Amino acid sequence: MILKTTGVCRDFHSGGETVHALQDVSIGVKPGTLTMLRGRSGSGKTTLLNILGALDYPSCGEVYFGKERIDTLPEKKRDTLRRTKIGFIFQSVALIANMSAYENVEFGLRLSGYPAAQRRARAEECLELIGLGKRKGHRAQELSGGEQQRVAIARAMAHNPSMIFADEPTAELDTQMGLIVVRLFREMVEKQGLTILMTTHDPNMIELADHVYELHDGVIISER
């Protein structure tokens, strides 16, 4: 298992009330798979993703990344983890405005400590992979939504992370575009051996996953 949790729960306190977003979640992700977390809005899937991706802490339980327990790591180590071993793709596309497609990908490489001499080649390679080699000089805001998301994918994978987390990556794309993206994920998983964990509430995507966890009200209700 590349990612494992045992008995994770997450509570949110606001105004005297407590919301149990997650309760007793135990999942595992095998390397080289495309795993999906499925559930409706409010099911807690994004919360779980955050905890898994070292963006958030669980209220109880344990999270293991590889052999390492990450929910007790100091902040700095978690930053390093995210920087070198993880790649993120977000729902509302989070490219850095004013940077071109190429620069966005190259920036990700720079941030992760990729050797300077190889950055250019790797960035162009990734852009080719997602089919935007010719548009690499365009600024983020000049690309269409689908194109931007694909650039985000390129950026997320460029530094060869152990895992890629994607939070509703197709939510803001039309169905056709969305399918292209997920098919891209499949390709990455099969051809490059990447491990991808994504959340979705779109039932059509499920077919393409290796593993699906279904969440409802913060509890895993099924597993496939």
Partner 1 sequence: MWTLVFRKILNNKWMMLCLLFGFIVVVAMVSTVPMYSSAILQKMLDDDLADYQNSRSVYAGMVQVRASYGVYSATDGSRGKAFTQHDKVVAEKMADISAVSSTDRAVTTIKATNMVLTPYDADDVENTAYAKTTMELNAVKGMEPYATTIAGRMYEPGLNENGEYEFVCTEAAYNQLSLNLDSVYRIASITKPGEYVAARLVGVVTMAEGSSQYWYIAGGMEKYAENILMDYDTMLNVLFTEYETTYLYEAEWRMAIDFTKLSIDHLTPLIDVIAEQTLFYENTSGFSYFRVPMYETLVEYTVRSATLKLELWVILVPILVMLALYIFMVAKTIIANDADEISVLRSRGASAKQIFKLYLYESLVLGGIALLIGPFLSYFMCIIMGSANGFLEFIGRSALPVQLSFKVYLYALAAVVFFVLMMLIPALGAARSTIVERKRRHSRFAGQPIWKKFFLDIILLGVSIYGYYNYQNLSAVLTVSGEDAVSMGVDPLLFLLSSLFIIGAGLVFLRLYPYLVRLIFLIGRRRWSPQTYAAFIQVSRSNGHEQFLMLFLILSVAVGIFSANAARTLNQNIEDRIRYDTGADVVLTVEWLQEQAYGIDGKPIDGEYINIEPDFTMYEQIEGVESAAKVYVNSSVKVQAKANMSSQSGVELMGIDPAEFSKTTWTRNDLFYPYHINAYLKLLSEGIRGALISSSLAQQLNLSVGDIVSVSMNDEPSCEMIVYAIIDYWPSIQPVNATSRRGGENPFIICNLSYLNSKFTKYPYQVWLKKADGVTDTEIYNYINANSQLRVADIDYVDQQLIAQKNDPQLQGFNGMLTLGFMITMFICVIGFLIYWILSIRSRTMQFGVLRAMGMPFSGILWMILIEQLLISFVSILAGVILGGIASDMFVPMLELMFPLEQQVPSFIVVALRSDYFKVYAVIAVMLAVGIFVLARMIKRTKMDQALKLGED
- Provide the mask over 185-214, with x wherever binding to partner 1 is found by CB under 8 A and - wherever it is not: ------------------------------
Contact call for residue 76 and partner 1 (CB under 8 A): yes
Taking CA atoms, 60 is separated from 24, 63, 77, 107, 218, in Å, by: 9, 10, 20, 35, 14
CB 158 within 8 A of CB 123: yes
Tell whether residue 81 is a contact of partner 1 (CB under 8 A).
Answer: yes
Q: Which residue from 38, 45, 122, 150 is in contact with partner 1, where contact means CB under 8 A?
A: 45
Q: Which is nearer to partner 1, 14 or 176 (CB)?
A: 14
| Element (DSSP H or E) covering residue 221 | strand 219-223
Smallest distance, Å, CB 152 to partner 1?
A: 9
State the minimum distance, in angstroms, from the CB of residue 90 to partner 1. 6
Q: Does 57 bind partner 1 (CB under 8 A)?
A: no
97 vs 176 by CB, closer to partner 1: 97
CA–CA separation, 158 and 166 (whole Å): 15
5 contacts: CB under 8 Å, gap ≥ 6: 25, 26, 27, 28, 51, 52, 58, 61, 62, 63, 64
Per CB under 8 A, does 135 bind partner 1? no
The angle subtended at Cα 198 by Cα 221 and Cα 50, nearest 5°, is: 85
Q: Binding partner 1 by CB under 8 A: which of 11, 32, 133, 139?
A: 139
Binding positions for partner 1, rule: CB under 8 A: 41-47, 49-50, 53, 55-56, 75-76, 79-84, 86, 88, 90-92, 94, 96-99, 103, 107-108, 110-112, 116, 139, 141-142, 167
